[in-house]
Every structure is written in structure tokens, then in C-alpha cells.
Structure 1
Amino acid sequence: MPGPGNTGVPAGVTLKRSDSLVITKDGTVIDGLDVYGDITVDADNVTIRNTRVRGQRDYWGILQREGHSGLTVEDVEVFGNGKARTQFGILNQGRMITIRRVDIHTISNGICTEQGVVEDSYLHDPKYYSGDHTDMIMSTSAPAKGTQLIIRHNTVINTLDQTGAIALFQDFGVIRDVTVEGNLLAGGGWALYAGAGTKGTSSNVKVIDNVFSRQVWPKGGYAGPVAYWDHEGSGNVWRGNTWEDGGAVDPGKS
């Protein structure tokens, strides 16, 4: 599974120091930087790779702004300084995003996106600041029309007692078209918030072959492994989800 040895900046890569960046040219490639601040992407099809982002201010490490799409973030480490809050490691306000082999830590929320792919990444050791809800991978609404959210083969560990490791919330709309597959999950109040809510019944949410660990809390999360699962949602699938130390995880017994 993803961990410190196979995520973030690969060993042997030499980084060049940089201040915060605002990217406005489509197709820009950022490679080999040590960024003291943040990266704001105001363009399409940008790639950030082999880069360390040291959050220095309140809001984000990497941001894709609304109206843009195609950001790829790979082999990148994002973290706050533990003093001034970095609220999001990676925040996607735009459309498609691909995040792979990232190492995100010492932040309030790891990744927030409604669509795209998050894979082969290591999210761990968040930092709590007063008033925070703390989630390592979070979605707050449905994906954009014609897209989906895929969260697969990640190690996601929230060492706090709130809120989640992976959290599918109905803050702004009904959750649909999400696949959560092959992840190792631990910690938070619940390790997984599975998409149910007051705005409607979630649909096409597939939670498959994930492993829930007791390494942070005996119940997986402080309160249990999973909450807010819509058993009756059209296309919803719960299959093959187990405890790390053996036995099936039942969303009806959370």
C-alpha cells in the first residue's frame, strides 16, 4: 500500500526553491520545485510533479480554480508548517483532476474534489485547529455532469477523533457516481462517511475491497468504521470490505 517510501518526491530528485506560484498558461509543467507557499492553477491541463509544497498560509497548498480542468498532480508532497493553518492540501474548484502518489500531511483537510481520480497516495497525520472539521479525502456534492470520482488504492489515516478518513458529504448536493476501491482506511470519527444525507438518496456509490484498520481507534474510526450508507440507493454497491485483522465490515452494523 502507499506509504512514505513510494509517495511524494522520489528519492534522488533535486529540488529548486520557489516562492508561491500562479499558473495562467495552459499546459504548463511544474517539475522539481520546493515551493514555500502555494500553487494556484488558473489554466487548463497543468501538470505538477516531483515537487514539494510547504503551505505557509491559511487556505491551500495546491488549488485548481473554477472554470479550469485537467490538472495532474503526481509524485508531490504537500504539508503545512503546523503553526499557521493550511486548510486544504489540494483543493479542486474546477472539473477534472488526477492525483497520484502524493504524500499529504499536517493540514486540516487533505484533498477536496467532487470529480477526478485520487490513487496510489498517502494521506496522514492531519493538524487540528479550533473549529475545524478534519477529513483526509472529501467530496461535498455530486461530480460535474459526465464525470465521476474515483478514489482507489490509497492509504488514508486520520489520526484525530473527527471527522473522517474518506468523507462523502451532501453539503451542496446529492452524492452519486463515486467509486471507493482498494483503500486502507483508519481514524477520524468514522473512517468512511458513505454518502447519505438530507438532500436525497445517493446513487451509483461503489465501496469495494477496502480494508478498515484499527491502528488509530479500536472501532476503525472513533465511533465506528462507516456511517451514512444508503442501502437503497440505485446502483450502490457494498462488497468485499474487511477489517485488517479479519472479518467483514457491515455498513448496517456501524
Structure 2
Amino acid sequence: MRRLFPSVIVLVLFLAACTESRPSGGSTPRPGTPTSTPGTTPSATPPATPSAGPEGCPNHPTPACTGVPPGTELRRLKPNYAGGTYRVTKDGTVLDGVHVSGDLLITAHDVVIKNSRIDGGVQDWYENKGYSFTITDSTVGPEKGCLTAPGIQTADFTAKRVHIRGHGDGFSVSGDNVRIEDSYVILCSNPGDHGDGIQTIGAGKGLVVHHTTFDQRYAKDVTSPIFLVDPGTVDVEVTSNLVMGGTYSMRLLHARGKQVMKDNSVVDKSWEYGPLVVDCAKVDFSGNKLVTIDDDYRITSVVSPLKCE
């Protein structure tokens, strides 16, 4: 049985929103795409580059310069809520160097999570009310297996140098003021999933996705690493990311206001149908390119500029 987060409605909306995203017809293998058994993480995780330290990743984010810093001693928090969940209820709570063995439910404002490991997901929407948090230098998701629910959701959060693993969806955004940067997302899938690296669901204003690696090559039941097609999305910036996999690797449609997609690198032939689906007339689109990479996510060549047409 699929394990649900405390706010079941978010996951239900997510699954419904993804249903129409895959083109009709059978799936064809993606050229050069590694294969894995559905429901598991990749059998061969790409090797990591040397850590870049607190200044950030040297090129594009990898497991070595995101997530819990090496040598960090973690203190295990006992679940205090239903289903093995740890719930935060006090505004301004700081979780530093903790290990949450299940989900982390945030029902307080201005919560800080850093240098921590959460084996389930992180969510700040509960009983029709949203909260706020920042998460840095932390690892989200199980070391083994695959959870269909998103790694981090829902609104009013900042994620920096976060490593998401073992989730069918990386980020799910259903509200305003979300910033994701310098992070690494390696995606998996379970049969029947429609996985995304990041997806917008419902109204949301001020989304920034910057300098983050989205790797969906190892997942089978997928939509897109970057899937931003909700008409409620207003003012979105997608810049300097490294993206690979999916049916289409990047999608930006139906948004309003400022729409920017610049300086992103899409791994050539890693997709199933094409590199992008973008409303070219409305999006400030420039500096994007098709690339090849090595096992450490370093760009080895630029194949060509990526044109929006």
C-alpha cells in the first residue's frame, strides 16, 4: 500500500495533475538512459565529485557537495505524531544535526532545518493551513527504496544544498515564495507514478529554481524533471540548472507574469520524447544548451544551443 503523508489531499492533487502529462502511445526507451528496477533507487549511483565546502558546488551540484556534511553527528528524534512522523509545532524551531526516521511535518512558522537527515518527506501544509521553513545542507529520502510522495512540499520555503533521494517527486510547490538552489535531486519511481523533479500544483507566485541538478534517468514511470505547467503559476525563474531524463526534460507552460528560463544545461538524448515544451512567445529564453556529461556530472561538451521553437 502506498504510504501517504498526513495531508492526503496534496498527494491526490499531485497524481491527478500528472495524469495528462504523458503523451499518448507506448513508451520508447530513452537513448543512453540507464535502466533500473521500478520501485528501487538506481543500482549504480553516479560517483560523487570532491566536496566544494561551504561556498557551494564547483560546477553543478552532486551528492558530494549537497546533503548532510561529512562527519556530522546526528541525533535521532523519536516520532511524536501519527505514522512515525515527527511534527514541529513551535515557531522558530531549529533542527540542527538531527535524524528523522520518518516524515517531518511542519506546523509552525520560520522553522530552520540544517545538517540533518529526514528519511521520509518534509511538508508544511496541514489542515488547510500553510507554514514556512528553510532547509540547508540536509538529506531527504530513504537510502534504499522509493517513496511516491514528494521529498519536499508545499510553499513558503527555501531549500539550499539539499540532497533528495528515494522519492518519485523531488519538490511539489503549491503556493508562494519558494526558492530552490544549489541542490541535487536523484529520482526513482514506482509502477504507475508520474514522477517529476519539481512540479507546480495550484496557485504559486515567486518560484525560483537555480543551479540545481535534476537526474531522472534512473526512473521509469515519469513525466519531467522540470514540470511547471499549472496556470496558477505566476513569476517563475529557472536558471543555471543541469537537467536530464523525463518524457520531456523541461516544461514551462500556462504561467503568467515574469517567466525566465536561462542558462540551463540539458543532457543530450537523455529524454524520451524531446528536451523541452515551452511557451516560447511568453518566456525569456536564452543561454540554454544541450550537453554531454561524465559520471561526476561535469559537462564534457556542448552539443548545441537549445532553441525554443
TM-score interval (norm. to shorter): 0.7 to 0.9
DSSP 3-state at the match of 1:178: strand
Counterpart check, 1:232 vs 2:281: yes
- The match for 1:45 is 110
- In 2, Cα distance between the equivalents of 1:83 and 1:98? 26
TM-score (norm 1): 0.84
The answer on whether the counterparts of 2:107 and 2:131 sit within 8 Å (CA) in structure 1 is: no
Letter in 2 for 1:34: H
TM-score (norm 2): 0.70
The partner residue of 2:306 within 246, 249, 254 is 249
How far 1:48 moved relative to its partner? 0.8
Cα-to-partner distance string for 1:54-105 (whole Å, 9 max, x where unaligned): 12xxxxx11011533431011110113654634111111xx41100000001
Counterpart check, 1:10 vs 2:75: no
- The match for 1:74 is 136
- The match for 2:173 is 113
DSSP 3-state at the match of 2:119: strand
DSSP 3-state at the match of 1:163: strand
Superposition pairs for residues 186-225 of structure 1, below 5 Å? 186-196=244-254, 202-214=256-268, 218=269, 220-225=270-275
- In 2, Cα distance between the equivalents of 1:151 and 1:110? 12
DSSP 3-state at the match of 1:89: strand
Pairs aligned (count): 228
- The match for 1:127 is 188
Instruction: List runs of 5+ in structure 2 lacking aligned partners.
Output: 1-59, 79-84, 292-300
The answer on whether the counterparts of 2:259 and 2:284 sit within 8 Å (CA) in structure 1 is: yes
- In 1, Cα distance between the equivalents of 2:146 and 2:157? 27
The answer on whether the counterparts of 1:142 and 1:177 sit within 8 Å (CA) in structure 2 is: no
Identity of aligned residues (%): 30
- In 1, Cα distance between the equivalents of 2:225 and 2:146? 22
- In 2, Cα distance between the equivalents of 1:135 and 1:73? 20
The answer on whether the counterparts of 2:113 and 2:136 sit within 8 Å (CA) in structure 1 is: yes
The answer on whether the counterparts of 2:229 and 2:251 sit within 8 Å (CA) in structure 1 is: yes
- In 2, Cα distance between the equivalents of 1:12 and 1:80? 19
How far 1:108 moved relative to its partner? 1.1
The answer on whether the counterparts of 2:243 and 2:267 sit within 8 Å (CA) in structure 1 is: yes
CA separation of 1:84/1:225 partners in 2, compared to 1, >3 Å: closer, same or farther?
closer
The answer on whether the counterparts of 1:79 and 1:106 sit within 8 Å (CA) in structure 2 is: yes
Q: Which 4+ runs in 1 deviate beyond 2 A?
A: 66-70, 80-86, 173-176
**Greater helix content:** 2
The answer on whether the counterparts of 1:141 and 1:169 sit within 8 Å (CA) in structure 2 is: no
- The match for 1:58 is none
Bigger shift: residues 201-210 or 76-85: 76-85
Higher relative contact order (CA 8 A, sep 6+): 2
DSSP 3-state at the match of 1:5: helix
The partner residue of 1:54 within 98, 119, 125 is 119
- In 2, Cα distance between the equivalents of 1:130 and 1:202? 33
